[in-house]
Amino acid sequence: ALGLYLCPSISFAEGVDGYTKLLLHNDSTAFTDSSLSSHSVTNSGAQLDTVNKKFGTGSANFPGSSYLSIQDSNDWTFGSGDFTIDTWVKANTGTGAKHIASQHASSSNVSDLQWNASSGILNMRWVTGGVNRGWYHTAGGLWMGRGGGWYHIAFVRQSSNAYIFVNGESLPLTVINAFGNIGDIAAPYVIGTDYNGGSPLEHWNGWIDEVRISKGVARWTSDFTPPTSPYSAGVIPEPSSMLLLGIGGLAMAAFKRKKRSL
């Protein structure tokens, strides 16, 4: 018997696809969102640094209380679905909490992606409706983040599982509260500080490059090799697929990846 079978879609870690909801290459002073969502980015004091960069022609430097902000969107209302937030960071010396990203409407509706420069702890937390919807952190001292280098950081949810990766290595996590349904936080999504409409707090002291938010997919669930180039400016249409050809009870698999639009 001859048959053709189309398997479920397969996601990829590189490029721009339908899961990519924010992508900041940070290569110009406009700090443009290169995702299909094309969010408008407001710059509050962040600087383009063409010397300290991971990829491309520049990175975002965050001196003082500077930050980038994007208006609230359903793109980062994750619900109970999978997601991945990943970026490259380089820290100056300092102590205490430093925010890579945050969304802060009130103490009852807030999210944090945070590094503590004193303890080395990486932290991810979501609170909506006054209820903790997911709070995890690494053990102290596993990644101190100092020394002047660039580090790839990824925060991942896959079903009820949480992962924090540094340079592709999954770090052991302490669970404060397990993942739940992450509702809307009615506040801008902010890169480089914790901002609740008043004074910016616990700002990132250093550089951030290649920021990506992916909704609906866990890009990584085991150790991986960090990206070696910026995420493609081209588009990988969804879905990619596996085509199976069955002949006389035998199955032959052909991987079918749709052509990128560059």
pLDDT attached to residue 9: 40
Query: What is the CB-side half-sphere exposure of residue 108 using CA atoms within 13 A?
Result: 2
Compute the CA torsion angle 93, 94, 100, 102 (nearest 10 deg): -170
Q: Are residues 218 and 237 in the same domain?
A: no
Q: Are residues 207 and 241 in the same domain?
A: no
Q: Are residues 82 and 11 in the same domain?
A: no
Q: Are residues 120 and 219 in the same domain?
A: yes
Q: Are residues 240 and 217 in the same domain?
A: no
Q: What is the pTM for the complete model shown? A: 0.84
Q: What is the per-residue pLDDT across 90-119, written as a single tens digit (0 to 9) for each?
A: 988 778 889 999 999 999 999 999 998 888
pLDDT attached to residue 236: 46
Q: Are residues 204 and 237 in the same domain?
A: no
pLDDT attached to residue 226: 95
Q: What is the b/e burial string over 193-206, where b = at least 16 CB atoms within 10 angstroms of the residue's CB? A: bbbbeeebebbbbb
Residue 205's domain spans which residues? 17-231
Distances, alpha carbon 50 to alpha carbons 59, 69, 176, 187, 251, in Å: 7, 21, 39, 30, 52
Residue 75: phi, psi to the nearest 5? -60, -25
What is the rounded CA–CA span in Å between residue 12 and residue 255? 13
Q: Are residues 225 and 245 in the same domain?
A: no
Distances, alpha carbon 59 to alpha carbons 5, 30, 46, 174, in Å: 45, 12, 10, 31
Q: Are residues 240 and 170 in the same domain?
A: no
Query: Total domain count for the chain?
Result: 2
Strand partners, 49: 59
Q: Are residues 239 and 220 in the same domain?
A: no
Is pLDDT larger for residue 183 or for residue 13? 183
What is the rounded CA–CA span in Å between residue 47 and residue 186? 27
What is the rounded CA–CA span in Å between residue 215 and residue 217? 6
Q: Are residues 133 and 173 in the same domain?
A: yes
Q: Are residues 7 and 37 in the same domain?
A: no
Q: What is the per-residue pLDDT across 149-165, written as a single tens digit (0 to 9) for each?
A: 899 999 999 999 999 99
Tokens 């999210």 correspond to 111
Q: What is the per-residue pLDDT across 193-208, written as a single tens digit (0 to 9) for each?
A: 998 877 788 889 899 9
Note whether 240 and 256 are within 8 A (CB). Answer: yes
Q: Are residues 25 and 89 in the same domain?
A: yes
What is the rounded CA–CA span in Å between residue 222 and residue 228? 18
Find out whether the peptide bond into 239 is cis, omega within 30 degrees of 0.
Answer: yes
Note whether 209 and 87 are within 8 A (CB). Answer: yes
Tokens 């990486």 correspond to 122
